[in-house]
Chain A
């Protein structure tokens, strides 16, 4: 056999040289004798084959039909846009603007979807800080309640129409109108103003009426009288050594809180304890505001005493002779002390007031002038334009509408029916106005009374510019094509005015208009760039552009009238305040903000009447009228009577109660409608502005109990002290109040249960040395204890590679909550609704614990951002039966959601209680809808709508029900940072990885980094003797370090 030379044979036949076999061997195709042609018709089978086929067929069909395979759409780019790499985020500079609220931002987009807001470090105003409102604004883009296109009112419902139709109707209405009003909130955009001026030029009867939901009109009027410009000074809190604020919540809501926070914390951080110095911050108020909670001293005055309180300080500083009758004696003495401190810090102090009374603001200006603060801490050369509302304009608008002088009104992003004190009058008057046009993004209380909606685009879909401060410009650029058939508001005005400067057929008409305007103005004001394109590209890239120069107008003294707030002799007064998250209702439709815990009351989903609380001297914290948290009372203001729940508020002045603005909107989408109580109709309207208080008020006894009392923190205090009635000595009132039942033994608390908790450490700046020594001693003791163990641990492993850690400066943290919203946005944290929060099912990965300490009547406050501490000896890890939570080599405590079976053992064993369990199907991951909680009885659960789900961060798993989740130190950002460093071929810097909370923080309180990177930002912070680790003695070895909270309280104020 030729082909078998190598003695390779196949089978016996080959070996035996079988003839037949050898024949077939060389054939390419086997001769199988099958008549293939006949086969097709002769398909025969026996019974067994039939049954087999039947069985298989049935089985396969059952399997195929039984599994509901979800249809998932993934459409690839046909032509891939140049700048988009799937999986890699793009950042675009833009500006968050909502009326006077401003924040220069970077918008993070993934695959063309904006999903997160970051601060813009290049901004000279916000300097990379953000607010909760800015953070949450991305969710409002995907609001399911948005108008999807122009609409006409037909009876009670809106019917769709086309832009041609709407434009035609509006144009004819405008031409025939004899009185046109454009109602807006503050407009900071020069180009919008230009467009509006084209509009008002075209229609001579048109007037623009600007007001602010929370009015600063008097402040602007006073500045106009003193300086000739209607603007707000540039407050430089970083330069201020003494700050006196009359009810101005400048860290939370007043004018430009992010900017002020940046400056304020510079005077609060302590870098060197041997030379510790802090600014002194004195807040004059009646309710505990966010700013007041951060103050060193609070001077309690009733809302109606604000005027005379300012007058008293005015008299003390300038020697003026204003009447101060009616001011309480304690406040008088304290203000005198404040005056002497101010005088000592002349030129380095700031006095501000939120008053909307022009005479009071004139006194404030006079005080600042007398102290020589203008030109130093108050700069009028770069004034702020962040509030422009004019109360008298609003008032005349209401009169004009009521008088029938207006027959066409355009609401440009304003909602005066809800958020002005004239809501009822406007509602009544609007019925007489023939053409009512709204440009609102989604339906609101005012828009619902209109007959035409020409919806504008969301800021993330728009072009625009902002001049928040003189010469400080920022650009707004779209980060997504308009989701719906909406049109930029400015373009609408230009088109209705028939402007020649806009080309309707252009692809982006307003973009051209904006560019053209910049070419003619800002481009000419600079000399750096020769070509406009270069200038423009740079401005769009950075998002910011500034023009320097300009001098401050000089101060002209003005006569101060005697019309100031009159102290009332009423037994009870109520003050109304703006919250960080709701504004005056502008943000009510945003679920993230609705579910963000109020920094002070820690309540969500509604406004709770804050009532004063005091220690009864035995063992109870007694609320006003014996009211307890969650009791329902009847509140009567004037002739308005409402039922609402109360919350005991420490630091609330006796004889006053407070209620937040911004709730109780009738029409605010699924989230905001009918949540809480609307109080805008109870404001006191003065001659020059709005008084955010009312003296004609009474509160009933308890009439019921709130069903869903949603407060995420039940215990508010950590060792407040009060006077014991029997012994007349100072005792730990807090601990006495912990006793629910004493078995008739008269036990009054266990001394030390709250004061000695190694969770927070506080000190007065004057006692810093002793307290730091005490802290060091306790740390040493804890560390000594922790060394006494037989297990050697894994420190030798953690010293290799990265070891992630965090530092939280409690002296910088003001509690504003921007980080908590940023965390929700970054990590797809679900919103669970009021009922779920009321049974403590909130899902926040990062919370800000708020404790009161010190004097029970007028306590100090500490904020402690609390997130997973990423313990290196984590108690949660060893108890998980299935290894679902475990430790990474880089010191991260990580969750494998897929592995989690939900025993919740880890959550029990977490000393910090930061683990969150998916009690129900909060993210619509289940097949059946019964366990998806509704936020507000809406038809589709929140998170179930595909539009809402566009906001999800694709880098973070959406968790299903039944699993535990918690802070991951933004592990997705760590990974991204590591990859960035790797591709750039360098070692990782701490700045490469910044978790969402750190980037959001306006106070730079959070520093994240690598504990093994000795030159990094984190290690630079770890040397301070103020540092401590929460619960260090239990040896769980957290990776998060806090600092001792230092206050600059002057106890002599409290006497």
Chain B
């Protein structure tokens, strides 16, 4: 044992776990029969997802006319939901890639679930650009493939095309990263399993034996993928923001959008991670792995990004006034005081005011408040996208074409349905894979503060804080 005694660093895993206990705690949920709570949740999620799928089929069958969009507001809930989901999908990669590079060891408690969330959120997000097309059966036109029409290539000037590349790249890399992390854990599951289950997990773990060479390669691959995905964290939402920033519509045509969108995405991503983690740690009894420290760290990120977003909102207002350009000025006047004033108010309250509670340490560490505010932030971020898309389009240059919009049952159904899809996938995930990265958490068990001697130190048998 090392002689260094740090009274500062608290252990990242509480409860004086042994390696075996960790394995037991984290692998057993995949081995036991599902709990009642899980079953109820799963049935609910699948029902909602089924309704969402029905609404999607309805849209394709009847046409976009089943939505309430119109000649002025050609995008609204569809792209709002798209940006919202993509934003949510940002935390995972940030946690796994950027925090890995920055050697933030606390990330290991949440990275697995956050990455899973990213992947499921991107799946939900990617649905919208596809189904919002008037002729979805021709969606393959956007892919650059050699063809006999000239060949006719897609328009490389279009931000919508950049989106296709950005999102598909992001999805692929996130999936690889996630799966790479899962390989040693699948091997652990396999080692404990019997019969057919063992075969499946053997395949899933690619025959992992845990040799030193395996670990070395695994570490290298993780680092490489982290390096690849780090710029992606910034690029995906930057490119999504280009959908708006490169247009000529007042309220869209702004250079602030890329950083503003990225900050907003991390903001909403962390909020969603918190929402999920708080439920997961409670239901799977993972309080020792996903600790209050984790929650507090993430709350700090939320406070920071929420404040960045707030500054961006104020900057927008200032610039619109400073521009001296009547359309730009009116766009913001209309956002705040026009017919959709409530969405602007909601955005300001949820995204700028609500996170300010986290300046107080005890509130940052309050699980109930955090859970509540994480939902508030998610609502606020949805409002933000609605303000940017729906409100802005409703009143632009030509007053004769100003219009109003409210969603149809199909649009609402699809949005709710994506939540069903998301939770269905997440619930399946918690049943088949360890929610916390077992191998990685073992890695930090000894290194991250096991010599802590302060309050609530090793002598106490179990962590009693929550």
A: which residues have CB within 8 A of B?
A: 713-715, 717-718, 738-743, 747, 750, 752-754, 756-757, 759, 836, 839-842, 847, 849-851, 864, 866, 875, 878-883, 899-905, 907-909, 911-913, 915-921, 928, 930-931, 933, 960-964, 1031, 1034, 1036
Contacts and interface: CB of A to CB of B under 8 A. Distances in A.
A901 B337 contact: no
A961 B400 contact: no
Q: Which of A851, A879, A899 has the largest count of B CB atoms less than 10 A from its CB?
A: A879
B400 A911 contact: no
B329 A909 contact: no
Closest 6 CB pairs of A and B: A902-B134, A962-B134, A919-B65, A840-B70, A920-B65, A849-B400
Given A879-B158, A879-B159, A930-B61, A757 B399 contact: yes
Given A713-B400, A850-B400, A752 B248 contact: no
Contacts of B70: 839-841
B180 interface: no
Nearest to B159: A879
A745 to B, nearest CB: 9
A757 B397 contact: yes
A172 B240 CA distance: 81
Nearest to B152: A883
B168 interface: no
B427 interface: no
Nearest to A871: B248
Contacts of A920: 62-63, 65
Contacts of B403: 714, 840
B164 interface: yes
Given A900-B135, A904-B75, A1036-B248, A750 B142 contact: no
A908 B134 contact: no
Given A879-B160, A882-B142, A902-B133, A909 B248 contact: yes
Given A878-B158, A908-B75, A913-B398, A921 B63 contact: yes
B249 interface: yes
B248 A1034 contact: yes
Nearest to A933: B65
A902 B398 contact: no
B164 A881 contact: yes
B134 A753 contact: no
18 contacts: A713-B401, A718-B399, A740-B338, A839-B70, A840-B71, A878-B158, A881-B141, A882-B155, A899-B152, A902-B135, A903-B133, A904-B75, A908-B74, A913-B401, A920-B62, A920-B63, A962-B63, A1036-B248
Among B153, B246, B329, B400, which residue has the most Cβ atoms of chain A within 10 A?
A: B400
Contact of A881 (B142, B398, B400): B142
B139 interface: yes
A933 B63 CA distance: 11
Interface string B224-248: 0000000000000000000100111
B404 interface: yes
A757 B158 contact: no
B333 interface: yes
Interface in B112-137: 129, 132-136
Interface of B: 61-65, 68-72, 74-75, 129, 132-136, 138-139, 141-142, 152-155, 157-161, 164, 243, 246-249, 326-327, 329-330, 333-334, 336-339, 341-342, 345, 393, 396-404
Contacts of A741: 337, 341-342, 345
B62 A909 contact: no
B390 to A, nearest CB: 11
Contacts of B71: 840-842, 907, 913, 915-917
A901 B135 contact: yes
B339 to A, nearest CB: 5
Nearest to B330: A753
B134 A963 contact: yes
B399 A908 contact: no
A169 to B, nearest CB: 50
Contact of B402 (A715, A740, A918): A715
A912 B397 contact: yes
A750 B63 contact: no
Contact of A961 (B63, B129, B397): B63
A878 B155 contact: yes
Contact of A931 (B65, B248, B336): B65
Contacts of B337: 738-743, 747
Nearest to A896: B152
A930 B142 CA distance: 28
Contacts of A963: 134-135
Given A753-B333, A879-B159, 17 more contacts: A740-B337, A743-B337, A743-B341, A878-B158, A879-B158, A880-B155, A899-B141, A900-B134, A901-B133, A905-B75, A905-B158, A905-B243, A909-B249, A918-B63, A931-B62, A961-B65, A964-B134
B247 A909 contact: yes
A878 B129 CA distance: 18
A882 B400 CA distance: 30
Contacts of A752: 326, 329
Contacts of B161: 881
Contacts of B333: 738, 750, 753
B252 to A, nearest CB: 8
A919 B330 contact: no
A851 B399 contact: yes
A930 B62 contact: yes
Given A753-B330, A913-B71, A841 B399 contact: no
Given A901-B139, A1031-B397, A878 B63 contact: no
Contacts of A931: 61-63, 65
A842 to B, nearest CB: 7
A714 B63 CA distance: 25
B379 to A, nearest CB: 19
Contact of A753 (B64, B129, B133, B326): B326
B394 to A, nearest CB: 10
A714 B404 contact: yes
Contacts of B396: 911, 913
B68 to A, nearest CB: 6
Contacts of A912: 397-398, 401
A754 B132 CA distance: 33
A917 B158 contact: no
B157 A907 contact: no
Contact of A757 (B154, B160, B326): B326
Contacts of A836: 65
B339 A740 contact: yes
A170 to B, nearest CB: 49
A915 B396 CA distance: 14
A881 B130 CA distance: 13
Given A714-B404, A738-B334, A901-B139, A882 B72 contact: no
Contacts of A739: 337-338
Contacts of B153: 883
B135 to A, nearest CB: 4
Contacts of A960: 135
Nearest to B134: A902
A1031 B401 CA distance: 15
Nearest to A902: B134
A496 to B, nearest CB: 52
A919 B63 contact: yes
A469 B399 CA distance: 43
A558 to B, nearest CB: 48
B155 A841 contact: no
Contacts of B62: 920, 930-931
A836 B400 CA distance: 18
A739 B333 CA distance: 9
Contacts of A1031: 397
Nearest to A718: B399
Contacts of B61: 928, 930-931
A882 B141 contact: yes
A907 B132 CA distance: 14
A883 to B, nearest CB: 4
A759 B397 contact: yes
B65 to A, nearest CB: 3
